[in-house]
A and B are shown apart, each in its own frame.
Chain A
């Protein structure tokens, strides 16, 4: 019985190169049972490549991956029995029905007939897909395809689940339902590695790794990530954002200013600066609708970390 002390997934010094480009540069992380680990970063950060190496469909150039005690590089086929992989394109057969798809994957993993039928029944019922069992997978909506993809990957009760950008382009309601399923799996002890380009999805993970250009910039809980951000984030709403920006940027204590549609997001070095800035704006006769402290978004944190990484160099 694995305790939280012995991780289900252990990755060390993982590296992958494509010609001259380093897609993944020596990353390390561990994932315990009953944990959702997020690989968060923009496209090209190396998330998909990492997921593929974990799934055993791509060989790393260096480093090691151990899943549930099995060294993936030495015994990939053995490792695959305990791992379920849901790639970005799902892997659904559009010209097969929902039932036929599930059965196919159950057979590939040699799941006992009664067991998989029971699991399929309960999962389809939970996903509210019972009336669609005989429908061709190609005729399902985006959200339902995603759920079917997940069901297919869960039919053999894996201990490790790898999800590569599973919620891209899916409507928020389905995304929410999807995450509820993930939380249920979490309570059953499944270790999950989920990669996403939605920076705000990072907050839903137990722990996360912010990735950029193949490197891991940060690896900890979301709370720790936010604690990293010094100072405070202000939101100033007004009619002429650019004028506002020109006025606010040179003010003391202002670290960075971001234009948004209806105003500014200002990163200041201390929350007390808010009052000062408000006063200075009144002095300069610039009218604003509101000024308040807001929680920084994960994107704000990502950019801040990136700049820290580059030694406060300006963005390219």
Chain B
């Protein structure tokens, strides 16, 4: 293998540098930088209005960036958006399938639009149908399919032309959890084949499926790393869960305890941040016993991505 080939394998499929997109005075994407490598599954996590969709659209060549650079499959998005679109697959939030056409008609349509050659079309159609699990139902109208089937079909339609890069915009909204898992298995197998996948979502727990996550809020990229990295490094301290019958009564007492931060109700439990769990727990237990709340149990828990998101956002304020 030559140096050049080795390098091209190493070079990121998507490279974004200081990207800015404005709509009038409103800055939708604010100096975002990141890169995605071959076969990597990258997630954009953020609430509605954070700028995820705008960012995706710029990368697809649908919007022109105001500043910064975005390279997709080695092509500058601002220079040649058409060439970019030939190399990417895109699955939009509402799946974009035609409800009044059959499975196979939809696939043929998208295949044609993506320029799949006649020779390859038959094979690719078969592949997509099998992947979606719709063998035997090729002639069913898409409108009659349930959410999970449509989702897999839409994915199939997006990869008919074997793109090296796949953009998924909120792909699992409206899909039941079993279908969601099955869908992510498919994404992972695509990743194994070297396809780079960029997913945008507002479901925090969905980010766990990704190799790396970028947290986006108000157009800014506030954190980037694997889910584990984000959970471990963003929290300055350790998370405790306190539960018991009269936990809400104990809230006031606990808020005044030393070393306890961010004490908040969580369902019928209390979550609190301490600097060192092992250190603090005995003292807290003793204090609670003294005040008559002996039945309350304390244990250390893993922070969720939502906890780290809140930490990061809070830090940015």
Q: Which residues of A contact B (CB under 8 A)?
A: 36, 42-45, 141-143, 168-176, 179-180, 183, 187, 198-200, 203-206, 212, 221-223, 237, 241-242, 258-262, 294-295, 297, 299, 302-303, 306, 315-316
In the complex with contacts A205-B267, A261-B227, A241-B188 CB distance below 8 A: yes
Interface check B302, CB cutoff 8 A:
yes
Q: Of B46-54, B161-169, B277-285, which stretch is located at the interface?
A: B46-54
Pairwise interchain contact B148-A173, C-beta atoms closer than 8 A: no
Q: Nearest CB to that of B49 among chain A residues? A: A142
Interface residues of B (CB under 8 A from A): 41, 43, 46-50, 146-148, 173-179, 181-182, 184-185, 188-189, 192, 202-205, 207-213, 217, 226-228, 243, 248, 264-268, 301-302, 304, 306, 309-310, 313-314
- Complex contact B267–A44 (CB within 8 A): no
Q: Which residues of B contact A183 (CB under 8 A)?
A: 248, 265
**CB-based contact B178/A316 at 8 Å:** yes
Complex Cα spacing A316 to B173, Å: 18
Which residue of B177, B188, B212 has the most chain A CB atoms within 10 A of its CB atom? B177
Q: Given A141, A179, A200, which contacts B205 in the complex, CB threshold below 8 Å?
A: A200
Q: A173-B314, A203-B267 are in contact. List 12 more A-B contacts (CB 8 A).
A: A45-B176, A183-B265, A206-B268, A222-B267, A237-B228, A242-B192, A259-B188, A260-B208, A261-B207, A261-B208, A261-B212, A315-B182
Q: Quick one: which of A198, A297, A302, A315 has the most chain B CB within 10 A?
A: A315
User: Between A and B, how many residue pairs show CB distances below 8 Å?
Assistant: 120
Nearest 5 Cβ contacts at the A-B interface: A171-B47, A169-B48, A315-B178, A43-B174, A42-B176
Whether A171 and B177, one on each chain, are in contact in the complex, defined by CB atoms closer than 8 angstroms, is no
Quick check: A171 and B217 within 8 Å, CB to CB?
A: yes
Are A172 and B204 touching (Cβ within 8 A)?
yes
Write the nearest CB–CB distance from B90 to chain A, whole angstroms.
Answer: 21
What residue of chain A has the Cβ atom nearest to residue B213's Cβ? A261
Looking at the complex, which one of B175, B207, B228, B304 makes contact with A42 (CB distance below 8 Å)? Answer: B175
Residues of A within 8 A of B306 (CB): 172, 175, 200
- Are A315 and B179 within 8 A (Cβ)? yes
> Are B265's CB and A262's CB within 8 A?
no
- CB-CB < 8 A to A303: which residues of B? 177-178, 181
Among A171, A237, A261, point to the contact of B209 (Cβ < 8 A): A261
Contact of A260 among B182, B209, B301, B314 (CB under 8 A): B209
Closest chain-A Cβ to B37's Cβ sits at a distance in Å of 13
On whether A302 and B175 interact (CB within 8 A), knowing A170-B48, A171-B217, A200-B204, the answer reads no
24 A-B contacts, Cβ less than 8 Å apart?
A42-B176, A142-B48, A142-B49, A172-B313, A179-B265, A200-B204, A200-B205, A200-B304, A203-B267, A206-B268, A212-B176, A221-B268, A222-B267, A222-B268, A261-B41, A261-B43, A261-B209, A261-B227, A262-B227, A302-B177, A303-B177, A315-B178, A315-B179, A315-B181
A263 to B48, CA, bound (A): 28
Residues of chain B lying within 8 A (CB to CB) of residue A294? 302
Residue in contact with B177 in the complex, picked from A175, A179, A204, A306, CB distance below 8 Å: A306
| Chain A residues whose C-beta falls within 8 Å of the C-beta of B147 in the assembled complex | 43-44
Known A-B contacts A172-B309, A241-B188; the reply to A262 vs B202 at CB < 8 A is: no
Q: Are B226 and A261 in contact (CB under 8 A)?
A: yes
Q: What CA separation (Å) do A295 and B188 show in the bound complex? A: 24
CA gap between A198 and B49 in the complex, in Å: 18
- Does the CB pair B266–A203 fall under 8 Å? yes
C-alpha gap A143/B313 in the complex (Å): 14
Q: With A142-B47, A172-B313, A187-B248 known to touch, is A242 a contact of B268 (CB < 8 Å)?
A: no
- In the bound complex, residues from chain A placing their C-beta under 8 Å from that of B211 are 261-262
Q: Considering the complex, give the chain B residue whose CB is closest to the CB of A263.
A: B228
B302 closest partner in A (C-beta): A294
Asked if A44 contacts B176 (CB within 8 A), the reply is yes
Chain A residues whose C-beta falls within 8 Å of the C-beta of B181 in the assembled complex: 258, 303, 315
Closest approach, in angstroms, between the C-beta of B220 and any C-beta of chain A?
Answer: 13
For B268, what are the chain A residues with a Cβ–Cβ distance below 8 Å?
Answer: 206, 221-223
CB distance from A187 to the nearest CB of B (A): 7
Report the separation of the CA atoms of residues A198 and B226 in the bound assembly, to the nearest whole angstrom: 22
A69 to chain B, nearest CB (A): 27
Minimal beta-carbon separation of B135 from chain A (angstroms)? 14
Instruction: State the CA gap A259–B184 with chains docked (Å).
Output: 8
Are A316 and B148 neighbours in the complex by a CB distance under 8 Å? yes
Least CB separation from B305: chain A residue? A172
Alpha-carbon separation in the docked complex, A160 to B227 (Å): 39
In the complex with contacts A200-B304, A261-B41, A262-B211, A242-B48 CB distance below 8 A: no
Task: For residue A58, give the distance in angstroms from its CB to the closest CB of chain B.
Answer: 20
Distance (whole angstroms) from the CB of A94 to the closest CB of chain B = 15
User: Do A199 and B248 touch across chains, with their CB atoms under 8 A apart?
Assistant: no
A303–B184 alpha-carbon span in the complex (Å): 15
